[in-house]
Amino acid sequence: MEFNQWLNERLHKTIESGLYRTLRTMTSAPNPKVNVDGTQQLVFSSNNYLGLANDRRLIYAAEEILHDFGVGSSGSRLTTGHSKWHQKLEEKIATFKQTEAALLFSSGYLANVGVLSAIPEEGDVILSDKLNHASLIDGCRLSKAETVVYQHVDMEDLEEKLSEAQSYNHRFIVTDGVFSMDGNIAPLDKIMALAKRYNAFVIVDDAHATGVLGENGRGTSEYFNLRPDIVVGTLSKAVGTEGGFVCGSQVLIDFLRNHSRTFIFQTAMAPAICAASYAAIEIIETSGDKRQRLLAKSEQIRKSLKVLGFSLKGEDTPIIPVIIGDPSAAELFGKRLQEEGIFAPAIRPPTVEWSESRIRLTVTADHSSEQIEYLLESFEKIGKQLSII
């Protein structure tokens, strides 16, 4: 029992510091109202920005292919797992993102790790924003290149570090397009200008921007009208399904297909999920109205919470982080919300800084005005009860 005792002692430290994590079980589909642990909750924390995860059109698209192609893909892409639906989806993603080519991975996490571990080599340097997603951090850890972290969206710091990095063979700047926990947009225009001046390549993780930013939902590259060298994305957020992708030049995609270990050694996604994702992207391209409604709702919530006296982060995205304080305070706020029937759990370290533990609200296009009103009333009530406002 020595092994379990050792783990138990370590876990106790996690509990004592207020960082213990548990699972909550959803017993209904991902709609604004979900059954969580047996009670009805209004969800204000999902990444299903356009409500596509439970959209009939995606379900029918997947169902048809499910009957034709079965449940699993049966192998990695380079052996038996590559179906015509993988091919169709990759072509669709490349057209959607306006790049020469695209490559599917089983998740966005694996796409980021696969790019960063394969492309920068020994003798290169990766300049990484301090608040980049964990999958980018893990990609940097696996890379043989050196990693230098620059202060969050701090262009002066990035410039200084770029100028100090001129002796490396190649320089890569890697950033989230929309920061997942802070809800702000990376200054891609400035980053690309610095990259040009200091001879660096740019990698953007567009997980939260795909389907949300830009007139046609193409993401940060459309929002800024710029073409980074590598765009990584996920199908698991606004697209409503699962899987990850990389977009860029044909030679980039050919290189990754030959050298990216998370592509080569992973079983391919199920063809039915590819078909649902294909349908989702077709919907996204013509969902300009929905996107505008989504961003208008986000702004309404942002403004109202600020007026109430809450401290917020981010702008112009459907991610609305409300800073509460230490992890236990954030945890208590999340619990009180759940008692009011609102599901938006606390985000704590190591995901965010200790003193910046938060409720990360997200809004979707399907939330009604009444549901938003109820959210704001509940925030006011709990904020006053816990003396946060």
Ligand X SMILES: *Cc1c(COP(=O)(O)O)cnc(C)c1O
Enzyme catalytic residues? 180, 208, 237
Q: Which amino acid, residue 294?
A: L
Closest CA to 31 of 371, 344, 366, 279: 366
Q: CB 108 → ligand X: shortest distance, Å?
A: 2
Interface with ligand X (CB under 6 A), residue from 108, 214, 217, 314: 108
* Binding track, positions 26-65, relative to ligand X; x by CB under 6 A: ----------------------------------------
How many residues interact with ligand X (rule CB under 6 A)?
14
Interface with ligand X (CB under 6 A), residue from 48, 73, 220, 234: 234
| Cα-Cα-Cα-Cα dihedral sign, residues 42, 46, 51, 54 | negative
Q: Which amino acid, residue 265?
A: F
Interface with ligand X (CB under 6 A), residue from 41, 46, 107, 262: 107
Q: If binding is defined by CB under 6 A, does position 133 make contact with ligand X?
A: yes
Interface region with ligand X, contact rule CB under 6 A, candidates 3-11, 49-57, 108-116, 220-228: 108-116
Q: CB 265 → ligand X: shortest distance, Å?
A: 16
**45 Cβ neighbours under 8 A, 6+ residues apart:** 343, 344, 345, 360, 361, 362
Q: Are 189 and 224 in contact (CB under 8 A)?
A: yes
Q: If binding is defined by CB under 6 A, does position 217 make contact with ligand X?
A: no
Q: CB 126 → ligand X: shortest distance, Å?
A: 16
Q: If binding is defined by CB under 6 A, does position 348 make contact with ligand X?
A: no
Q: Cis before residue 350, ω within 30 degrees of 0? A: yes
Interface with ligand X (CB under 6 A), residue from 18, 81, 240, 244: 244
Q: If binding is defined by CB under 6 A, does position 109 make contact with ligand X?
A: yes
Interface region with ligand X, contact rule CB under 6 A, candidates 6-14, 102-110, 265-273, 302-310: 102-110
Q: If binding is defined by CB under 6 A, does position 274 make contact with ligand X?
A: no
Q: Are 232 and 246 in contact (CB under 8 A)?
A: yes
Interface region with ligand X, contact rule CB under 6 A, candidates 31-39, 107-115, 278-286, 349-357: 107-115
Q: Are 100 and 250 in contact (CB under 8 A)?
A: yes
Q: CB 15 → ligand X: shortest distance, Å?
A: 26
- Angstrom distance (rounded) from CA 191 to CA 193: 5
Angle at 250 between CA 246 and CA 252, to 5 degrees: 55
- Angstrom distance (rounded) from CA 58 to CA 46: 18
Q: CB 135 → ligand X: shortest distance, Å?
A: 5
Q: Where are the alpha helices (DSSP H) in the chain?
A: 2-16, 56-69, 84-97, 108-118, 134-142, 155-164, 188-197, 220-224, 250-259, 261-264, 271-285, 288-308, 327-339, 369-385
Interface region with ligand X, contact rule CB under 6 A, candidates 104-112, 151-159, 215-223, 290-298: 104-112
Whichever of 135 and 362 has its CB closer to ligand X, that residue is 135
Q: Specify the DSSP element, H or E, that contains 175.
A: strand 171-176
List binders of ligand X among 169-208 (CB under 6 A). 176, 180, 205, 207-208
Closest CA to 214 of 173, 177, 240: 177
Whichever of 244 and 271 has its CB closer to ligand X, that residue is 244
Q: Specify the DSSP element, H or E, that contains 248.
A: strand 244-248
Whichever of 109 and 198 has its CB closer to ligand X, that residue is 109
What is the SS3 assignment for 321? strand
Q: CB 336 → ligand X: shortest distance, Å?
A: 26
Interface with ligand X (CB under 6 A), residue from 48, 236, 260, 364: 236
Interface with ligand X (CB under 6 A), residue from 45, 48, 83, 135: 135
Whichever of 252 and 269 has its CB closer to ligand X, that residue is 269
Could you tell me the two tokens for 209?
């921007």
Q: Are 157 and 151 in contact (CB under 8 A)?
A: yes
Residue number with the smallest Cβ distance to ligand X: 108
- Is residue 149 packed enough to be buried (19+ CB in 10 Å), middle (13-18) or exposed (0-12)? middle
Binding residues (CB under 6 A) for ligand X: these are 107-109, 112, 133, 135, 176, 180, 205, 207-208, 234, 236, 244
